[in-house]
Amino acid sequence: MQTKTLILAALAAVAHARFGQEGLVQAAVQALSDFGAPGAAGTLAGQTPGVLLAGANACAKLSLADDIVTQLGDDAAVLAAAAQLVAAEKNFNPSAQSIPTLCSDASLPATEALRGIVPLVDPAVVGSDVQNTNSAASLKAAFAANGDSVADVSTAQGFSNFTAQANA
C-alpha cells in the first residue's frame, strides 16, 4: 500500500511540474496594470491561459503578444512580458499528438521586438534540448527572423520536430 501511495505522490509531483506553467506568463502580464487603459492588463492576462492550451492555435499566442504591446505600450516591462508569452511552452498532450505545433505565419509576431524569439517545447519531445536552449537564448538576444515565421526560425536554429500551423 505504501508503494502505491509513493508512486501516486511521485506521479502527482511530475504532473504538477508540467502543468500550470501558464500562470507565470499570466502573472507577468497582470503585473502591468500601470500601463494602458484601466483594466487592460487584467483582461489581457486573463487571455493568456487559453492561448497556451494544447488545442489552441500556435499563432494565437503570438497575436496576443502583439495585442499586449498594442494595448499597453512598448515600455521595456511590457515587451518583457510579451516576450515571455512568445517563448512560453504550449501545453502538450502526448496521448493526442506526438509533436508540438509552431506558428508558420511569417507576419507574426508583428511587433519587431518580439520577432526571432522561439518557444519552449515539452521536454518529452525529441530535440527539445536544442529548442529549449534556443528559447532561453532568444529571450536574451532574438535570432534573426528576416521575415521568417517562428517555425522557420526554429528550423534554422536546428529544431524541426514539430508541425507547422498557419494562423486560423
Q: What does the pLDDT look like over 103-153, one tens digit per residue?
A: 999 999 999 999 999 999 999 899 999 999 999 999 999 999 999 999 999
Q: 7-56: per-residue pLDDT in tens?
A: 434 334 344 344 556 688 999 999 999 999 999 999 999 999 999 998 89
Which grid coordinates belong to 107? 507576419
Backbone angles phi, psi at 104, to 5 degrees: -105, 10
Which grid coordinates belong to 71? 494595448
Q: What is the pTM of this model?
A: 0.87
Nearest to 90, CA basis, from 49, 137, 31, 126:
49
Q: Are 45 and 65 in contact (CB under 8 A)?
A: no
Question: Where residue 6 falls among pLDDT bands split at 50, 70, 90?
Answer: very low
Cα distance between residue 30 and residue 33, in whole Å: 6
Residue 1 has pLDDT above 80, yes or no: no
Predicted pLDDT at 93: 74
- What secondary structure letter does DSSP report for 89? P
Q: Is 103 helix (H, G, I), strand (E, B) or coil?
A: strand
- The mean pLDDT of the chain is 89
Residue 157 has pLDDT above 80, yes or no: yes
Cα distance between residue 14 and residue 144, in whole Å: 35
CB atoms within 10 A of CB 98: 12
